[in-house]
């Protein structure tokens, strides 16, 4: 309930931030205009610009604002909102041209005054940003390069759009409106400063050092690291952090990984990482002693947020076992007396990361581990294929609707399992998911 109230509060803050500039239109003196549709077009412009400013705040990783939703949900919101804001901003010139076709001339940079061209360039930057983000994988743009381009296009779109609005001055010429927009502009600058300079600088002051690189089954590696000259940070089991290895924290080369270890007083951390692409394929070559920068913790995927459950059910696909390991290790450290289940879906028996660790944890916990294998060995008597409604039904206890559920794995698996749990009568309010795909 408290989480819902917090979520409601932050949604209200979001709506207020986006709608405030529209509210200002009502109090500002009406400039010479072209009637109702002209005002509507202005409204689209102001609302779009305000939404653009809020986009910067959404990915600034403010812990308090993202906590009720989970940061992955906030990133998805940022992504889908981008389409809405582009539609709103495109509507701004489209409506103006529809009510007065002569205004088409403003699209021609040779004829238009510079402040009009700034508006067109802002829109073009935004369209380039959308295309390079939505089709990044199809266009073969590497993730790290895309992040830099994304930042440049976003700042360009915002700055040009801001200048367009400011220089033209319709509805924005009065001192009070100018002050509000100046504050919005300064907030965006402050966020960029905080995210790109202040935070990397503070990470530089609190480095970690890799202490061990352990090979795991299924092309995975566990990286152990310890804080150097500080106590590390407190986290809730199941949360994740952005990790930079082999680069300065200013280099924008960080990757999100779930913390796989349980919280310990000396701040040591472990991450279990699957070889997947450019960066993760290099993890096995990292040497102990290498400096690491860890920005965390983030995320809401933790049993500590749901302490009153009758027990916990963890449902993992592939490397989705990493946050589950953190939560199970924490339960074992705390000598938790409740009954728990781990469903782990993998291709074959030899490729299950942390398999032996889950076996070890069974000695310390009332834990049932259900491996579901796509390609089982010949003598396999356990579950086969995928995690289905029947598999869940066979192993979940009578009091299943009093348990708390954590799902992490490929997106189609998460969606299917959510559906199965629903069919089994598990309330949606008891189901948590973690997406390993932010971008
Ligand atoms: C909250 C969260 C927790 C995660 N926990 C784990 C974990 O415990 N273990 C694990 O093995 N993997 C985890 N991942 C996935 C991991 O972040 C990606 O596999 C890794 O970043 C891929 O990088 P790459 O350069 O090897 O792959 P690439 O081939 O370059 O990229 C593959 C895809 O991974 C995504 N990706 C790449 N770089 C980044 C980045 N810097 N930030 C965000 N996404 C990126 C992009 O969608 C990209 O298309 C997690 C992801 C998230 C969002």
pLDDT, tens digit (0-9, with 9 covering 90-100), for 15-29: 887 777 777 777 666
For residue 266, pLDDT beyond 70: yes
How would residue 369 be classed by pLDDT, with cut points 50, 70 and 90? very high
Amino acid 1: pLDDT: 53
* C-alpha 106 – ligand 1 centre gap (Å): 43
pLDDT class for 359, splitting at 50, 70, 90? very high
Compute the mean pLDDT over every residue in the chain, rounded to the nearest whole number.
Answer: 92
Three-state helix/strand/coil letters over 197-264: HHHHHHHHHCCEEEEEEEEECCCEEEEEEEECCCCCCCCCCCCEEEEEECCCHHHCCCEEEECCCCCC
Q: In what order do the strands lie in the sheet with 255-258?
A: 255-258, 240-245, 291-298, 208-216, 220-227, 269-274
| 274 plus 320 within the same structural domain | no
- Would you say 268 and 232 are in contact if contact means Cβ atoms under 8 Å apart? yes
Mean pLDDT score, 116-134: 96
Q: Is the pLDDT reported for residue 283 higher than 60?
A: yes
Of 37-41, 193-197, 361-365, 425-429, which gets the smallest average pLDDT? Answer: 37-41
Q: What pLDDT, on a 0 to 100 scale, did the predictor assign at position 3?
A: 63
| Distance from C-alpha of 323 to C-alpha of 325, rounded to nearest angstrom | 5
* Contact criterion met (CB below 8 Å) for 247 and 278: no
Centre of ligand 1 to C-alpha 72, Å, is 12
Ligand 1 pocket, 438 CB below 6 A? yes
% pLDDT > 90, the chain = 75
Q: Three-state SS for 431?
A: strand
> Is the CB–ligand 1 distance for residue 256 below 6 Å?
yes
Q: Of 233, 258, 235, which Cα lies nearest the Cα of 434? A: 258
Measure 284 CA to ligand 1 centroid, in angstroms: 16
Q: Looking at the domain assignment, is residue 404 inside a domain?
A: yes
Ligand 1 nearest atom to the CA of residue 280, by list position: 26
Q: Which pLDDT does position 224 carry in this prediction?
A: 98
CA distance 330 to 336: 9
Structural domain boundaries, residue 244: 208-298
* Cβ burial 29-63 (10 Å sphere, 16+ → b, else e): eeeeeeeeebbebbbbbbbbbbbbbbbbbbbbbee
DSSP state of 379: T
CA of 150 to the centre of ligand 1 (A): 17
Specify whether the CB–CB gap between 260 and 330 falls below 8 A.
no
334 touches 418 (CB < 8 A): no
The answer on 393 and 317 residing in a single domain is: yes
Query: Is 439 contained in some domain?
Result: no
Determine the distance separating the centroid of ligand 1 and the alpha carbon of 332, expressed in angstroms: 28
Question: Does residue 53 sit in the same domain as residue 66?
Answer: yes
Do 417 and 407 form a contact (C-beta atoms < 8 A)? yes
Of the pLDDT bands very low, low, confident and very high (cuts 50, 70, 90), residue 179 is confident
Specify whether 163 is located in the same domain as 246. Answer: no
> Looking at residue 260, what is its pLDDT?
98
User: 409 CA distance to ligand 1 centroid (A)?
Assistant: 12
67 and 196, same domain (yes or no): yes
Q: Tell me if 101 is assigned to some domain.
A: yes
Ligand 1 atom nearest the C-alpha of 257 is 5
> Does 279 share its domain with 370?
no
Cα of 256 vs centre of ligand 1, distance in Å, is: 6
Q: 218 in ligand 1 pocket by Cβ < 6 Å?
A: no
Distance from residue 48's CA to the centre of ligand 1 (Å): 31
Domain boundary among 232, 265, 298: 298
Q: Which residues pair with 384 in a beta bridge?
A: 373
Q: What is the pLDDT of residues 373-400, one digit of tens each?
A: 999 999 999 999 999 999 999 999 999 9
Q: Say what the pLDDT of residue 388 is.
A: 97
Q: Label residue 234 by pLDDT band (50, 70, 90).
A: very high
Give the per-residue pLDDT at 198: 95
What's the rounded mean pLDDT across residues 52-81?
A: 86
The arithmetic mean of pLDDT across residues 44-50, rounded, is: 93
Inter-residue contact 389 to 408 (CB < 8 Å) = no
List, in sequence order, the alpha helices (H) in 246-377: 321-333, 355-361
- Residue 140 and residue 175 share a domain: yes
Q: Give distance in angstroms: CA of 221 to centre of ligand 1.
A: 14
pLDDT for 277 equals: 87
Q: How far apart, in whole angstroms, are the C-alpha atoms of residue 211 and residue 178?
A: 54
Q: Helix, strand, coil: what percent of the chain each, to 5?
A: 55, 15, 30
Q: How far apart are the first and last CA of the chain?
A: 30
265 shares its domain with 339: no
130 domain-assigned: yes
End-of-domain residue from the set 185, 203, 221: 203
**158 lies in a domain?**
yes
Evaluate whether 399 touches 338 at the Cβ level (below 8 Å): no
Same domain, 198 and 217: no
pLDDT at 28 (0 to 100): 65
Q: Is 258 in the pocket of ligand 1 (CB under 6 A)?
A: yes
Nearest to 172 by CA among 20, 24, 17: 24
For residue 51 and ligand 1, the question of a CB distance below 6 A is answered with: no
Q: State the total domains in the chain.
A: 3
Q: How long a stretch of residues is the chain? A: 439
Torsion of CA 56, 58, 64, 67, to 10 degrees: -160
Does residue 227 share a domain with residue 180? no
Residue 358 belongs to some domain of the structure:
yes
Q: Is the CB of 257 under 6 A from ligand 1?
A: yes
437 lines ligand 1 (CB under 6 A): yes
Determine, yes or no, domain membership for 365: yes
Q: What is the CATH number of the domain that holds 393?
A: 3.40.50.80
* Residues 357 and 425 placed together within one structural domain of the fold: yes
Per-residue confidence (pLDDT) for residue 76, from 0 to 100: 86
Query: Going by C-beta distance under 8 Å and a sequence separation of 6 or more, which residues neighbour residue 110?
Result: none
Look up the CATH number of the domain holding residue 232.
Answer: 2.40.30.10
pLDDT of residue 336: 97
Share of the chain above pLDDT 70, in %: 97
Ligand 1 neighbourhood includes 276 CB (under 6 angstroms): yes
Beta strands in 275-430 (DSSP E): 291-298, 312-317, 339-346, 366-373, 383-384, 404-408
pLDDT digits (tens, 9 = 90+) for 286-340: 999 999 999 999 988 999 999 999 999 999 999 999 999 999 999 999 999 999 9
> How wide is the angle at C-alpha 131 spanned by C-alphas 38 and 73, nearest 5°?
90
In short, whether 277's Cβ falls inside 6 Å of ligand 1 is yes
The verdict on residue 92 lying in a domain is yes
| Residue where one domain finishes, among candidates 153, 173, 203 | 203
Whether residues 243 and 309 fall in one domain: no
Q: Is the minimum distance from the CB of 245 to ligand 1 under 6 angstroms?
A: no
Q: Using alpha carbons, select from 393, 334, 392 the residue that is nearest to residue 366.
A: 334
Judge if the beta carbon of residue 255 lies within 6 A of ligand 1: yes
Are 144 and 253 a contacting pair, CB within 8 Å? yes
pLDDT tens digit sequence for 235-248? 999 999 999 998 89
pLDDT in tens, 210-227: 999 999 999 999 999 999
């Amino acid at each position: 309930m408290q989480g819902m109230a917090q979520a409601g509060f932050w949604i209200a803050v979001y709506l207020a931030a986006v709608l405030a500039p529209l509210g200002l239109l009502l109090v500002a003196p009406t400039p010479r205009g072209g009637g109702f549709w002209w005002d509507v077009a202005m409204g689209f412009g102001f609302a779009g610009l305000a939404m653009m400013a809020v986009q910067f705040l959404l990915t600034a990783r403010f812990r308090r604002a993202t906590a009720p939703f989970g940061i992955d949900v906030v990133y998805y919101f940022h992504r889908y909102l981008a389409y809405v804001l582009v539609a709103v901003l495109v509507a701004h010139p489209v409506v103006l041209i529809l009510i007065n076709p002569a205004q088409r001339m403003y699209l021609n940079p040779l004829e238009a005054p510079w402040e009009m061209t700034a508006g067109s360039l802002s829109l073009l930057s935004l369209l380039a940003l959308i295309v390079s983000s939505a089709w990044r994988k199809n266009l073969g743009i590497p993730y790290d390069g895309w992040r830099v381009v994304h930042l440049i296009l976003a700042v360009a779109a915002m700055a040009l759009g801001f200048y367009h609005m400011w220089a033209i001055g319709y509805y924005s010429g009065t001192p009070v409106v100018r002050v509000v927009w100046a504050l919005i502009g300064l907030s965006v600058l402050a966020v960029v400063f905080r995210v790109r300079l202040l935070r990397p600088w503070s990470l530089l002051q609190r480095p970690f050092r890799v202490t061990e690189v352990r090979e795991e089954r299924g092309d995975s590696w566990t990286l152990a690291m310890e804080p150097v000259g500080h106590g590390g940070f407190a986290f809730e089991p199941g949360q994740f952090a952005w990790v930079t290895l082999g680069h300065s924290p200013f280099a924008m080369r960080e990757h999100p990984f779930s913390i796989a270890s349980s919280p310990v007083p000396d701040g040591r951390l472990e991450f279990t990482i699957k070889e997947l692409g450019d960066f993760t394929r290099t993890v096995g070559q990292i040497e102990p002693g290498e400096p690491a920068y860890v920005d965390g913790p983030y995320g809401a995927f933790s049993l500590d947020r749901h302490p009153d459950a009758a027990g916990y059910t963890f449902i993992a696909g592939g490397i989705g076992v990493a946050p589950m390991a953190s939560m199970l290790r924490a339960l074992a450290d705390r000598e938790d007396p409740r009954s728990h289940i781990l469903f782990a879906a993998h291709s074959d028996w030899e490729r299950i990361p942390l398999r032996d660790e889950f076996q070890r944890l069974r000695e310390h916990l009332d834990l049932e581990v259900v491996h579901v294998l796509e390609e089982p060995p010949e003598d396999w008597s356990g579950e086969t294929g995928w995690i289905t409604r029947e598999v869940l039904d066979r192993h979940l206890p009578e009091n299943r609707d009093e348990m708390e559920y954590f799902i992490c794995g490929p997106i189609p698996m998460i969606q299917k399992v959510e559906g199965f749990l629903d069919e089994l009568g598990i309330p949606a309010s008891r189901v948590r998911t973690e997406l390993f795909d932010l971008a």
